[in-house]
A and B are shown apart, each in its own frame.
Chain A
Amino acid sequence: MEHYYQPEIECASREQIRAWQDERLVHTVKHVYDNVPYYRNMMEEKGVTPADIKSADDLHKLPFITKDDLRDAYPYGLLAVPLSEAVRIQSTSGTTGRRVVAFYTQHDIDLWDDCCARAIMAAGGTKDDVVHVSYGYGLFTGGPGLNGGSHKVGSLTLPMSSGNTDRQIQFMIDLGSTILCCTPSYAAYLAETICERGLQEQIKLKAGIFGAEAWSEEMRQDIQNKLGIKAYDIYGLTEISGPGVSFECSAQTGMHINEDHFIAEIIDPQTGEVLPDGEKGELVFTSITKEAFPLLRYRTRDICVLSHEECPCGRTHVKMTKPMGRSDDMLIVKGVNVFPSQIETVLLNKGYPANYQITVSREHNSDKLEVQVEMTPEMFSDSLGQIAKREEELIAALKAMLGIYAKVQLVAPKSIARSEGKAVRVIDKRNLY
């Protein structure tokens, strides 16, 4: 039996969804125009006023907003309510230079929690479940999002956060966790460990909600088989709210976008032209119910396809495929956003040449990030200890910048291929898309 958290919304008619979108878009555009000078300037530059936006059909008239804008406006430049109304800040992984912060009113958090509650119920969750949240808690939206959703469903919530696998498994057994929420790579790691220790029989899991990084269908099958569960995908981004922007249902053929809160468009990443249903392009979101941090036409850089085909689960909201790639050079490693330019900045600051090679691989279901750096006469020393010390300093600086460990490998000068034209800085061996 299909469970819904808000059936009247999740299974609403297309006309009803459209009516919500029209009304809420018009309201949101006026809200940001009136309250956010940054938006007002952007709209004025494009020659649009709130009066031009009468329905969702007029969406294309609005300018896009990008991560660069979010950084330019850091920290409070896009806050659309008085500080006294905002109750929460979340942030994307990354650095001072790249960090993006998002704000929430209590109402925003309520709606975000609703979205996550829909995802949990679509995965079969009820108030009788024990929801084991192994996403990180803190600035990262994973933990807080699923935690809030689980509360809304009325499930018993276990705020495990990430790490400490022994304790995770112990609690899973002792408390009888039934739904696991974490990154797919951590789920695969947990599954492997549970099988190795022969604990499958003691695990009561029935479903998993896994997101924040790309994972393949093979990985899904592997996790499902090892843990004897159904594994569901969930999608989201801090800029738009967090996890639960879209989620998988029992059909497991794409993620329903919560269209009463977010309008999705697919555009040609080169021209910005809106593409028809079924065409592959960059996903663009407009949040239409957010108070503190509404974004109009936010370019996610995720490449995917939308489908309005009828879904056997009964939900009427549009479905998106898993992201099939990126329209920028951002990598997602261990669920953390990594830009090659961040690595370049660290290398240059530390006196290394800008010639480097980033390799991402996946071993035992865990992402590995490796940076090859060419040795220079300045960095070379007759002492292994000296070189090791410099290497450690570089690793520490990369960790401070990226938030994750990157292995550094010093290689001979001129050994990294000089490319003609665009440098191939990144080798991703994970075959994610």
Chain B
Amino acid sequence: MTVKQISVFLENKPNQLAEFVKVLNENHIDMRAMSVADTKDFGILRVIVDDTYKTACVLKDAGYICSITPVLAVEIPDEPGGLTKLLTILGENGVNLEYTYAFITRKKETAYMIFRVEDNEKAIEVLTKHGITPICQDALNEL
């Protein structure tokens, strides 16, 4: 019940992101979501794509350093307060978030949150108990 995220090392200098996106474009890879965490000198680019395996191969060939991380993707109503319930559940059950980012899809009124937590199993258990089911890779691919 996790989805695969690709994390890529990028230097913090002009044109790095453009070059990266060009590689995806040339290989007809579609991004579902993207987020960048940066420090002064470098950044970690995190993407959810339609074909994780192909993307990893393409990036490796292009000389990028990347890794695949299982993260949680949760559907939430795209309206004020939509996130509150979810975060409260995680918080009250001691699930610490390392990072998170959001994306929306063509499907109306629904947003998705990506969560990176220390213990995926525990987070899934907590969420399921409260009637929330993280989506799996196949479901994500169909979005």
Contacts and interface: CB of A to CB of B under 8 A. Distances in A.
Interface string B31-70: 0000001010110101000000000000000011111010
Given A375-B9, A382-B116, A414 B41 contact: no
Nearest to B39: A384
B67 A381 contact: yes
Contact of A410 (B5, B42, B63, B116): B42
A376 interface: yes
B41 A410 contact: yes
A407 B41 CA distance: 11
Interface string A136-180: 000000000000000000000000000000000000000000000
Given A380-B66, A382-B116, 16 more contacts: A375-B9, A377-B67, A381-B67, A382-B7, A382-B44, A382-B46, A382-B69, A383-B98, A387-B42, A409-B41, A410-B41, A410-B42, A411-B42, A412-B64, A412-B65, A413-B64
Interface residues of B, number: 19
B76 interface: no
Which residue among A382, A388, A410, A411 has the maximum number of chain B CB atoms within 10 Å of its CB?
A382
B41 A413 contact: no
Contact of B65 (A377, A388, A409): A377
A352 to B, nearest CB: 13
Interface residues of A, number: 17
A413 B44 contact: no
From B10, B63, B64, B65, residue with most partner A Cβ within 10 Å? B65
Interface of A: 375-377, 380-384, 387-388, 409-415
Nearest to A411: B11
A380 B11 contact: no
Contacts of B44: 382, 384, 387
A415 B67 CA distance: 19
Nearest to B98: A383
Nearest to B44: A384
A387 B98 CA distance: 14
B69 A388 contact: no
B8 to A, nearest CB: 9
11 contacts: A380-B9, A381-B67, A382-B44, A382-B69, A383-B98, A387-B44, A409-B41, A412-B9, A412-B63, A413-B65, A415-B11
B61 to A, nearest CB: 13
A344 B5 CA distance: 34
